[in-house]
Amino acid sequence: MTETPTPAPRTRAKQGTPAVGLKRFVFHLVLIAAAMVMIYPLLWMLSASLKPIDEIFADPGLIPSSWEWGNYADGWNALPHPFEKYIWNSMIIVAGSILGNLVSCSMAAYAFARLRFPLRGMLFAIMLGTIMLPIHVVIIPQYILFNNLGWVDTFWPLIVPKLLATDAFFVFLMVQFIRGLPKELDEAAAIDGCGYWGTYLRVIMPLCMPALATTAIFTFIWTWNDFYSQLIYLRDVDLQTVPLALRLFMDSTGTTNWGALFAMSIVALGPIFGFFLAGQRYLVRGIATTGIK
Amino acid sequence: MTDNDVAVVRPKQRSSGAPPGPAASAPSPSPERVRKRGGSIRSRERWAALSFLSPWLIGLLAITIGPMVASFYLSFTDYSLGYGEWVGGENYARMFDDPRLANAIKVTAVYTFVSVPLQLAAALLLAIVLDRGLRGMAFYRSIFYLPSLLGGSVAIAIMWRQVFGTEGLVNQVLAIFGIQGEGWVSHPDYALGTLIILHVWTFGSPMIIFLAGLRQIPTMYYEAAKIDGAGVMQRFWSVTLPLLTPIIFFNLVLQIINSFQSFTQAFIISSGKGGPADSTMFLTLYLYDQGFTQFDMGYASAIAWLLLAIIAIFTALNFLMSKFWVFYGDND
């Protein structure tokens, strides 16, 4: 606790005096050191993906002696299918999940936030309860259900639940958001002759864009990263997704082609990093208002 | 699950300044939109609500509650893909002489109760440091947040396995100081430790929740404490920490629930086997092994309910103990 704030947290450090300047300098130094430790493994993997193989496990530095772009080509073609096949499979699931979550969760959220109906309080409580329900409790009967429907080794078990708003976390997120919108807008729409569907489509949804964006980004990241349910439902080699392909790659290469494996790991992290750069505003808001991941 | 409901709602309550309480978790009744316009309009609203809720309701019944009931039933059978008979409490009795299960409970518990406090301590420390409003704060926040965004992916687990491998980054750095490191992930005494470090590494998201909480603390408290002559440490212990306890509690509940369910990282680091010597065999891995490798789905369902019971018990304990340390005195 050496870094506890000297001035009260809300007042900014005073400019000027040398003592304060020095203190701030040390402060930044410590923070930069901590940040370096945090991201060094990531930078190390990035650089290892470009290093010759014998150098990866010999030199902890970040600059490769020669730039081995061939690692990426090797990794891309190391598995039964070229890597774009796995990216494509992941993208299909991601696109279906995003569409499903945006439509089904926003519909449920509108009902919870704006409409009155019997048992609303109880259903709302149940909805919140399902957020915390471990997937492990329902996965076996779900598997049996989808197996009986003949859906194992298709993308349906991964997409259909999203169309049915089972990611209740996003329902909650949007309920919170819609409750923050002025009710006068709904009333004005009603006076102008909008029904409930009209109000939902033309008034609420356009105003919900920030919440919808947060939902889309989180759905992308979670689905892209998801391993457990894809591992269970997708065993066919033609349906493997990016995380499954990486796992296959790791378990099959043994200890040979690490540069190529790291290269494909970087490819897998790329889209998440892109969303991190582009959509950070929404991510931070999503976490700060609802507190999940 | 009602305890969890309160946890989820709490931060919103704080920010709106409403007094906490379970009653607030239900939506406040909307103002009389259709007042005095007759029953037919009200029933129209009900039908509209039903249609808006129908995807969610179908999902709730078919994907969540139905399978929950089925899972409970299966846990009393010896079901294995397509065939199973009622065996009564046999699966639960079997748990008592299953040393691998006992080990899995131990591994999961150690993982949770070591990594969560460390992770939250790191998150709190960095949040307090960053809350000073330093220049470049957004930059630092992003850097510290990034690992928690990536942390759940297979790619990061692969990286971790190599970072802590025999010739990995950690040992390369140790070699600079003349220390000969172990093959951390392949040593039964250390493999779990690498997973704990991985969990601590993802402290970014609780840190962001702490930052949001710190921003809720009114400046006047600090000013009053200053006038009364409180020093830096005293302000931290007497103002910041007590007012932050609801957020600490919220993070604690959430992280404990999450970490009991960890799967991917241990699966990748141990090539799906929970090794070496079952030292990374989480309950979730054991469940997967029993249910989807051995296809002993009856026993796996019983394990799933054991997992749920453990999570529920610790969450309930958490709520009970919160009476002694969580401070909700800010309802003026």
Residues A152 and A263 in one domain: yes
CB contact under 8 A, B4 and A24: no
Taking the Cβ of residue B316 and every Cβ of chain A, the question of whether any pair is shorter than 8 Å is answered with no
User: For the domain that residue A155 is a member of, what is the CATH number?
Assistant: 1.10.3720.10
CATH number of B92-325: 1.10.3720.10
Which residues does A56 contact at the CB level (< 8 Å), separation at least 6? A48, A258, A259, A262
Domain assignment present for residue A273? The answer is: yes
Domain assignment present for residue A10? The answer is: no
**CB A171 within 8 Å of CB B59:** no
Domain assignment present for residue A6? The answer is: no
Domain-wise residue ranges, chain B = 35-74, 92-325
Taking the Cβ of residue B205 and every Cβ of chain A, the question of whether any pair is shorter than 8 Å is answered with yes
Question: In whole angstroms, what separates CA A239 from the centre of its chain?
Answer: 21
Taking the Cβ of residue B219 and every Cβ of chain A, the question of whether any pair is shorter than 8 Å is answered with yes
Strand partners, B77: B86
- Of A6, A41, A76, which residue sits at a domain end? A76
Q: Which of B302, B269, B252 minimizes the C-alpha distance to B101?
A: B302
B contact residues 54-93, partner A, Cβ 8 Å cutoff: 55-56, 58-60, 62-64, 66-68, 70-71, 74, 79, 81
CB neighbourhood size of A275 (10 A): 19
What pLDDT is attached to residue B309? 95
- Distance, in Å, from the CA atom of B192 to the CA atom of A139, rounded to the nearest integer, reads 25
Domain assignment present for residue A282? The answer is: yes
In this structure, is the dihedral angle defined by the CA atoms of residues A118, A120, A126 and A127, taken in order, positive or negative?
Answer: positive
Residues A30 and A111 in one domain: no
Mean pLDDT of A129-133: 90
Domain assignment present for residue A12? The answer is: no
Residues A69 and A132 in one domain: no
C-alpha to C-alpha distances, A142 to A148, B64, B99, nearest whole angstrom: 10, 9, 28
Domain assignment present for residue A270? The answer is: yes
CB contact under 8 A, A41 and B55: no
pLDDT band at A175 (very low <50, low <70, confident <90, very high): very high
Residues A25 and A165 in one domain: no
Q: Note down pLDDT in tens along chain B; length 332 residues.
A: 333 333 333 333 333 333 433 444 444 445 444 444 445 778 888 999 999 999 999 999 999 999 999 999 999 999 887 788 898 889 999 999 999 999 999 999 999 999 999 999 999 999 988 887 777 888 888 899 999 989 889 999 999 998 998 888 888 888 888 888 888 888 889 999 999 999 999 999 999 999 988 988 888 888 888 888 888 888 888 888 888 999 999 999 999 999 999 999 999 999 888 878 899 999 999 999 999 999 999 999 999 999 999 999 999 999 999 988 888 765 54
Residues A151 and A70 in one domain: no
Domain assignment present for residue A9? The answer is: no
**CB A260 within 8 Å of CB A71:** yes
CB contact under 8 A, B154 and A247: yes
Residues A52 and A167 in one domain: no
Domain assignment present for residue A255? The answer is: yes
Parent domain of A71: 18-76
Residues A222 and A271 in one domain: yes
- Distance, in Å, from the CA atom of B318 to the CA atom of B124, rounded to the nearest integer, reads 19
Q: What is the DSSP letter of B87?
A: -
- State how many domains chain A has: 2
- Distance, in Å, from the CA atom of B178 to the CA atom of B172, rounded to the nearest integer, reads 10
Confidence check on the interface: ipTM exceeds 0.90, yes or no: no
Residues A70 and A88 in one domain: no
Residues A167 and A260 in one domain: yes
Residues A62 and A167 in one domain: no
